[in-house]
């Protein structure tokens, strides 16, 4: 049950973070992709190495 709550919170955080994705891509696609790649890399590392 606790794991399910964690997954929901993580999903909500990720959804909130990508809320302005279309606007950011329109403003500067290369910078947005670089930033998202960096965030995903660091987030993945932290999740896999608690």
CB contact at 8 A, 17 and 39: yes
Q: Enumerate the domain spans of the chain.
A: 21-50
**In sequence order, what are the residues at sequence separation of 6 or more whose Cβ sits closer than 8 angstroms to the Cβ of residue 35?**
24
What confidence tens digit (pLDDT) does each residue in 11-39 have? 666 655 666 777 888 899 999 889 888 98
pTM of the model: 0.52
**pLDDT above 80 for 6:** no
């Amino acid at each position: 049950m606790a794991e399910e709550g964690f997954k929901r919170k993580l999903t909500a955080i990720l959804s909130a973070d990508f809320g302005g994705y279309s606007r950011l891509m329109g403003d500067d696609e290369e910078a947005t992709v670089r930033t998202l790649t960096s965030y995903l890399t660091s987030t993945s590392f932290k999740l896999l190495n608690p």
